[in-house]
Amino acid sequence: MVIAVIAGSKLIGAAGDRVPLWSLRSALSAGTTLRAADVVAVLVGADALAAYAPESTDVTGSVLARDVGAGELLPLAALAAAHDQLRRLVTVPVDALHAPPGLARGERVDVYVSPKDGASVSQGGSTVTVLPALVLAGALVSDPGATDPAGASTQIGVVLDVASKDADRAVAAARGGDVDLVRVGTGG
C-alpha cells in the first residue's frame, strides 16, 4: 500500500496534465462492495489513467478483488463485478466488550462462539473446560453496528458479509452462544 501511495504522489508531481481518479477514503478488504462515500476524486498525472479508475467511472456497487489501502488510488485491476449471488448478509449480536474497539466496515474478523450455559461441563466425573469454537474465519464486516446510546442494551448487531455456504454457521453463531469477534490483521 505504501508503495502505491508513494507512486501515486510521484505521478502527481511529475505530470503536467492532471486527471481526476478515484482514491479510497479508508482501507477496505477484498470482498467489500464500494459505496459512493468510500471514494474521493484526486487529481493525478494523466499517465496514471490506464491503470486506475477515473472519476468518470461509476465504481459504486463494484466489489474489491483485493485489499486496498486508505489514500491508495483505486486500481482497475482491484475491481471485480458486482456482488455475486453467492453472498449473504447475516447480523450477529455481540456484547460490546466482545468486539474489537473501532471495528469498521471492510475489516475482517474471526467469529468465535462460547456456549451460553457456562465455560465448563461435567464429563465422567471430571469438569472439562469448554473453549470457544471458531465458527467463521475472516468474515467481512459489512456494518459494524453501534451501541445503544440510551444504554438499554450492551449488545451491538454486527452485519457480516459471508459466502452463502457459510450463512448457516453465521446464524448458528448468533443463536448458539456468546459471540466474540477477533480482528484479523490491522484493518489497513
Quick one: DSSP state of residue 1?
A: -
- pLDDT tens-place string over residues 66-117: 889 999 999 988 887 665 557 888 999 999 899 999 999 999 999 999 877 6
Grid coordinates of 46: 494523466
In the predicted structure, residue 5 carries a pLDDT above the cut 50: no
Grid coordinates of 123: 464429563
CATH code for the part of the protein at 2-80: 3.90.1210.10
Quick one: DSSP state of residue 95?
A: E
Confidence (pLDDT) at 156: 92
In Å, how far are 7, 46, 79, 157, 169 from 61, measured between CA atoms? 27, 25, 10, 23, 26
Compute CA 176 distance to the chain's CA centroid, rounded to the nearest angstrom: 23
Q: Which residues does 133 contact at the CB level (< 8 Å), separation at least 6?
A: 112, 113, 114
- pLDDT tens-place string over residues 148-170: 667 677 889 999 998 888 899 88
**Least confident range of 27-41, 53-67, 87-101, 174-188:** 174-188
Q: What's the pLDDT band for 11 if we cut at 50, 70, 90?
A: very low
In the predicted structure, residue 13 carries a pLDDT above the cut 60: no
The three-state secondary structure class of 114 is strand
* Beta partners for residue 128, in sequence order: 121
In the predicted structure, residue 3 carries a pLDDT above the cut 60: no
The three-state secondary structure class of 148 is coil
20 or 120, higher pLDDT = 20
Residues of the chain with CATH 3.90.1210.10: 2-80
The three-state secondary structure class of 36 is helix
Grid coordinates of 117: 450455559
Question: Phi-psi category of 138—alpha, beta or left, where left has phi over 0 and alpha has psi -120 to 50?
Answer: left
Grid coordinates of 111: 467469529
Confidence (pLDDT) at 187: 46
- Do 140 and 31 touch, CB atoms closer than 8 A? yes
User: CA 88, CA 72: separation in Å to the nearest integer?
Assistant: 28
